[in-house]
Amino acid sequence: MDITGKPKPCSGSERDYVRVRNRILDPGLDKRLFPDEKELASYFDLGTSSTAVIDQLLTEGFLEKLGSRIELCRFEPATWIRCVRLRINLDSLSSRLALPRLRESELDRIQLAGREFSKGPRLLDGREQILAIMSVLHQAARRPLFSLVTQDLHRQINPYTYFDHDRTLFDNLKPLLLNFSNYLRTGTVEKLCREISRIYQENCRILTGRLTEFKRHHKDATAQTRVLEKLLSL
C-alpha cells in the first residue's frame, strides 16, 4: 500500500506473474515441458513482459530450466520430502557449527528476524526472515557454501508454501523461530536441533498429505482435459 492506504497499482509484469503463478498452482493445468521460453510465453499469452515474468517464476521455483527447455513445477511429494530432510540436516549442522562463534550482535539479528517472522500472517510472508536467520548462522560458521545450498533449497520449497492455506505450517514454525536465539544464547543447541527435526518433520507430513490430494485432483483434471481435447479433434 502507498501512504494513502490504497493498494499500489500493479505493473503489467506483476499482474502477468500473479496470473501465471496461479495457473501453475491450479491442479487442472497440465504440468507440461516447454521446448523454450518463446513457446512458454505464447502458451501463457505473455507479451512484452515475458522475460521479467519468466525470470521471476524461475527465481521463485515455479519454473525449472532443463538446458533450453523449461518445466513447470510439478509439486511432487518426493521433491518436498527430499528438500525438507536436507534442510533438517543443514539447519541443524549450521546451528552446531555457528554456536561457538556467534557474537551478541548476531544473536540480536536472529532474534529480530524471529520476531519479524512471527508477525506473519502467513508462511509466505516470512520466507525472507528464515533465510536471514540461516545467513547469520552460515556467516558465523564460516560456511558460505551452506548459504548457496540453502538458497537453492529455499527456491525449490517456495512453491509448496502456497499450500499452507490454514496457517498450520506457519503456526508450527512460529515458536521455533521466536525462541531460536534463546536456544543459542543458553547453549542448548541439541534441544534446538531436536525441535528443528520435530517441527520440520511435522510440517513435512502435513503438506505431503495436501500434495497427494493435489496430485490426485491434477491427475483427474488432466485426464478429463485430454478426453475433451480428443473429442474436439474428431
Q: 113-142: string of b/e by CB count within 10 Å (b at 16+)?
A: bbebbbeeeebeebbebbebbbbbbbbbbe
Check residue 234 and give its pLDDT.
Answer: 42
CB 95 within 8 Å of CB 196: yes
Query: CB neighbours of 133 closer than 8 A, spacing ≥ 6?
Result: 110, 113, 114, 177, 180
Check residue 10 and give its pLDDT.
Answer: 58
Q: Give the mean model confidence (pLDDT) for residues 156-164.
A: 94
Type of residue found at 137: L
Check residue 198 and give its pLDDT.
Answer: 98
Say if residue 15's pLDDT is above 80.
yes
pTM for this one? 0.85
Residue 84 pLDDT level (bands cut at 50, 70, 90) = very high
Mean pLDDT of the chain: 89
Check residue 217 and give its pLDDT.
Answer: 75
- CA atoms lying within 13 Å on the CB side of residue 9: 2
Check residue 7 and give its pLDDT.
Answer: 44
Check residue 13 and give its pLDDT.
Answer: 86
> For 58-75, what is each residue's pLDDT tens digit?
999 999 999 989 999 999
Rounded Cα distance, 152 and 87, in Å: 11
> For 163-198, what is each residue's pLDDT tens digit?
998 899 999 999 999 999 999 999 999 999 999 999
Q: Which domains does the chain have, with CATH numbers?
A: 12-72 (1.10.10.10), 77-210 (1.20.120.530)
Name residue, grid cell 525472507.
128
Say if residue 132's pLDDT is above 50.
yes
- Counting every residue, how long is the chain? 234
